[in-house]
Amino acid sequence: MCLLHDTFEMRLSCFMFLVVAAALWPSARGNAPTNVSLPDLANSYWSDSGLKMPSKELVDAVNRAKLPLLDAFGHRREIVLMSIGSEFAFQRLFDVFLANLQNISFTGANGIQDNLARHIVVNVMTPGSAEKCAGLAAKYGCYCVSFANDAFTLGNFHVFSNDFYGIGFTKTATILDGLTLGVDVLFLDADQVFFRNPLPYLLAREADILVSGDCHNHGDATPMEKLPPINNNIGFVYFRPTAMATRAIYNWAMWLRNIAQRGEKPWDQTTFAGAIEWVSGEVSVRHLSMAMLHSDLFPYYCMGPCGCDLRGVPYFHNGRLPQRIPGTDCDPDLMREWYNYHMPCAGDMNMKSDLMEEYVRMYLRVIGPINSRSVPMTVLS
């Protein structure tokens, strides 16, 4: 009906009607993508002199959240976990994610019991979600930082909506802000659960960038100039805060903005490998190195329900994707090695939450308590 009105007053009253309707009926903004303009959204992350600087709130949160650790080579590292969350993700997804990170406990400095939930910084993407995140912070000890953009939907970020592409601007800015502060960044999508502490594994590898990837037999101990020629998944990605890694992320963010400005779709996932390989190709592996994590240890749902089986698979070949007969569990010999299970390709955020809980139950049933197969790490003060 509103579309039929023509005069300014009528359009104004129509506009007011919609504003009131949206306020009284929150689901009016609910599940629909907002159809935000991608060039405008991209620009909102930039100032005239470059990408916007980290907020004081972010700087404080990173300083409080960072965890000083000894790596496998005897060096001190400071690592922070980072994630991003929107209104819909605070309905359930983050509660499962953080309850699970809290289960990954370890002995902290001075012998005090600590856990991973207390070392994650969450950038909150939607306005009005701050209190929900603050409630989780009170419960789990995580850190919430406002990174709100009015353009984002309060609903599910449907794949290939403009909101969905906009996640990439938030993700690159979040990673860059962490690296700029000189800490190691483990960026995690919130749609995953952990069974073992991944930090000792990451801190025993030398590459500047470690990312999860499709089911394929490759090494992850040697720092490489390129990733294996298969899909990576940046829902689990780790960076050392080197000058060149930081530069690579900055250039990646700029590339995404340029794509948006051309009127094309800027997808962080499909540009990531090109962005970092372009830099390592220019400056050599000495200045920027990378590796793809073993896919059988860091599985995700796009592979299938039981991850990746590399037993007997020749080097540099694709692995097998075991199926799961309804009512049965995955092979214990595969599950025993899992660090996490990540749930891309699994429907909306509430469906992902169900799956995350289901995989926790399966792990408890088949292997044992969450974190029972973690190895200790040395926390410094």
Ligand X SMILES: *[C@@H]1O[C@H](CO)[C@@H](O)[C@H](O)[C@H]1NC(C)=O
Residue 79: name the closest of 215, 181, 207, 211 by CA. 181
CB of 289 or CB of 340, closer to ligand X: 340
308 binds ligand X (CB under 6 A): no
Pairing of the two strands 232-239 and 209-213? antiparallel
- Minimum separation from the CB atom of position 103 to ligand X (A): 4
Q: DSSP letters of 101-154?
A: HHHSEEE-GGG-EEEGGGGEEEEE-STT-HHHHHHHHHHH--EEEE---TTS-S
Residues 338-357 that bind ligand X (CB under 6 A): none
3-state secondary structure (DSSP) of residue 94: helix
CB of 31 or CB of 222, closer to ligand X: 31
Q: How far is CA 281 from CA 166, 175, 234, 251, 267, in A?
A: 28, 21, 20, 14, 22
Inter-residue contact 208 to 290 (CB < 8 Å): yes
Tokens linked to 84: 């991003």
CB of 102 or CB of 271, closer to ligand X: 102
CB of 68 or CB of 135, closer to ligand X: 135
99 binds ligand X (CB under 6 A): yes
- Minimum separation from the CB atom of position 375 to ligand X (A): 18
84 binds ligand X (CB under 6 A): no
369 binds ligand X (CB under 6 A): yes
Which amino acid belongs to residue 265?
Answer: K
- Minimum separation from the CB atom of position 244 to ligand X (A): 36
CB of 140 or CB of 239, closer to ligand X: 140
- Which of 79-87, 95-103, 233-241, 320-328 is the region at the interface with ligand X (rule: CB under 6 A)? 95-103
- Minimum separation from the CB atom of position 236 to ligand X (A): 17
96 binds ligand X (CB under 6 A): yes
- Which of 19-27, 96-104, 134-142, 344-352 is the region at the interface with ligand X (rule: CB under 6 A)? 96-104
The half-sphere exposure of 190 on its side-chain side, counting CA atoms within 13 A, is 32
103 binds ligand X (CB under 6 A): yes
370 binds ligand X (CB under 6 A): yes
Residues 33-52 that bind ligand X (CB under 6 A): 35, 37
Environment class of 47 (CB within 10 Å of its CB; exposed 0-12, middle 13-18, buried 19+): exposed
Environment class of 116 (CB within 10 Å of its CB; exposed 0-12, middle 13-18, buried 19+): buried
Q: Which residue has the tokens 């299938």?
A: 304
Tokens linked to 60: 């404080």
Binding-site size, ligand X (CB under 6 A): 9
293 binds ligand X (CB under 6 A): no
Q: What count of other Cβ atoms lies within 10 Å of the Cβ of residue 37?
A: 13
CA 181 from centre of chain: 18
CB of 39 or CB of 68, closer to ligand X: 39
31 binds ligand X (CB under 6 A): no
How far is Cα 243 from Cα 248, in angstroms, rounded to an integer? 9
116 binds ligand X (CB under 6 A): no
CB of 35 or CB of 258, closer to ligand X: 35
- Which of 82-90, 97-105, 129-137, 249-257 is the region at the interface with ligand X (rule: CB under 6 A)? 97-105
- Which of 47-55, 98-106, 118-126, 340-348 is the region at the interface with ligand X (rule: CB under 6 A)? 98-106
* Residue numbers at the binding site for ligand X (CB under 6 A): 35, 37, 96, 99-100, 103, 360, 369-370
